[in-house]
A and B are shown apart, each in its own frame.
Chain A
Amino acid sequence: MPQDLPAGPKSTTAKYWRKPLDADTVKVPHGELHIVVNRCKGCLFCVEYCPREVLEMSQDFNVKGYHYPEVSKDDACVNCGLCEMLCPEFAIFCVLEEEGGGGEA
């Protein structure tokens, strides 16, 4: 299974992981992230807690003078929505991408 997933945190023991019986039929959902840059106050909650480390802080500033998150690994988002839930500024949300790697979550 791990090899089917988009790039996530590196594991050195992935080859020993048990492969689920339905690994062939389950499609990992893919989310498209939307960031409302100018709402961000740079708290880093989304960057810190993204389970797939999809985000990183930009070098640029938004209009309020904060660094804001950017998508660094475009394919890695699995649409879990944790960034959307944690964001105190309502500045990030993800939308399930139907096309390509998309499947019902």
Chain B
Amino acid sequence: MTKEATLEPELSHPMEELLRMDRIPHIWCPTCGLGTVVTAFASAIQKLEIGLDDIAVVSGIGCTGRVAGYVKIDSFHTTHGRAIPFATGLHLANPKLKTVVISGDGDLISIGGNHFIHAARRNIDLTVICVNNFIYAMTGGQVAPTTPLTANASTMPYGNFEQPFSIPYLADSCGAVYVARWSALHVRRLVTAIAEAIAKPGFSVVEVISPCSTLYSRRNRLGTGLDLMRFYHDNCEIKHGADTRELEIKFQEKITVGKFIDRDRPTFVQSMNNWYGKVFGDEYEPYEGAVE
């Protein structure tokens, strides 16, 4: 292979048909894991062979919130914490559309925490990809509800003393039907998990531990995103079916990853149709969407 060919590839990147190339390069920092998560998401769509017109992405605000702007499918960049309610509306208007929420830990679990727990409780047929970088990154490294104890954040300059949420435990206890956690380094398993989550009817959650080099790792003197990837490599322990009560992430300690929950429960629309079918009998026409 000649160097000229390397510099100017004649072929295009296989992700290009799934990306808004007129917006690349993206805004994410060097050694941020978000680009990898986008590739994993796009690969999962390809793996499932979903038509690109049959899937939509909703994001909230923050670094991960920008994912919606880069994927070339129907995509919505909404307000802080409100990706899930927006996606709920989208899904209920057209349940045939696969609706995926891709947003960050601060967005989904803090300001959007109530939406998260109730969407899980109601088992709305959404796939939530929650990219967890342990911090509010876009706004300057403020403490998030996922920041591990003792980790430094701009609003916790002496270290965090607030107990963080464990996303898989939260999702499990609220009734999510599929819960997995992987790191951005476990990219192949992540593709499988996202594909399984999208295919699964009901509220499915994939937490992705992803490096934030500019804020989380710099404030905590952990090196670059590459050093965090090395940390995941050495410290992630795969434990499928692990008890979600034991998935707490402690600062720079072992991270348990894997597929924890995969169960069946009627979705919101199924429950509604089943119930009204019982109450009204044949008079009830099952709801299949408002879009002709």
Measured CB to CB, the residues of A under 8 A from B are 32-37, 39, 41-45, 48-49, 64, 66, 70-71, 74, 82, 84-91, 93, 95
Contacts and interface: CB of A to CB of B under 8 A. Distances in A.
Interface of B: 1, 3, 5-7, 9, 11, 13-16, 19, 24-26, 28-36, 38-40, 43, 185, 187-188, 191, 224-226, 229-230
A85 B25 CA distance: 17
B30 A85 contact: no
Given A82-B187, A87-B36, A33 B6 contact: yes
B12 to A, nearest CB: 9
Given A85-B36, A85-B188, A88-B36, A95 B11 contact: yes
Contact of A71 (B1, B14, B30, B43): B1
B177 to A, nearest CB: 27
28 contacts: A34-B6, A34-B11, A36-B9, A41-B25, A41-B30, A41-B31, A43-B225, A43-B226, A45-B36, A45-B226, A45-B229, A48-B226, A48-B229, A49-B185, A49-B229, A71-B1, A71-B6, A84-B14, A85-B36, A85-B43, A85-B191, A87-B35, A87-B36, A88-B32, A88-B35, A89-B26, A90-B35, A93-B9
A41 to B, nearest CB: 4
Contacts of B25: 39, 41, 64, 89
Contacts of A71: 1, 6
A99 B5 CA distance: 17
Contacts of A93: 9, 11, 13-15
Contacts of A87: 35-36, 39
Which 10 A-B pairs rank lowest in CB-CB distance, beginning with the nearest? Answer: A88-B35, A41-B30, A34-B9, A43-B31, A85-B187, A88-B36, A93-B13, A90-B15, A44-B226, A35-B6
Contact of B6 (A37, A66, A82): A37
A88 B226 contact: no
Contacts of A95: 11
A39 to B, nearest CB: 6
A66 B25 CA distance: 14
Q: Is the interface of A mostly helix, strand, loop or mixed?
A: mixed
Nearest to B7: A37
Contacts of A32: 1
B187 A86 contact: yes
B1 A33 contact: yes
Contacts of B35: 87-90
B66 to A, nearest CB: 13
Nearest to A64: B25
B16 A90 contact: yes
B280 to A, nearest CB: 50
B13 A90 contact: yes
B81 to A, nearest CB: 25
Contacts of A66: 30
A97 to B, nearest CB: 9
Contacts of A48: 226, 229-230
A101 to B, nearest CB: 13
B11 A88 contact: no
Contacts of A91: 13
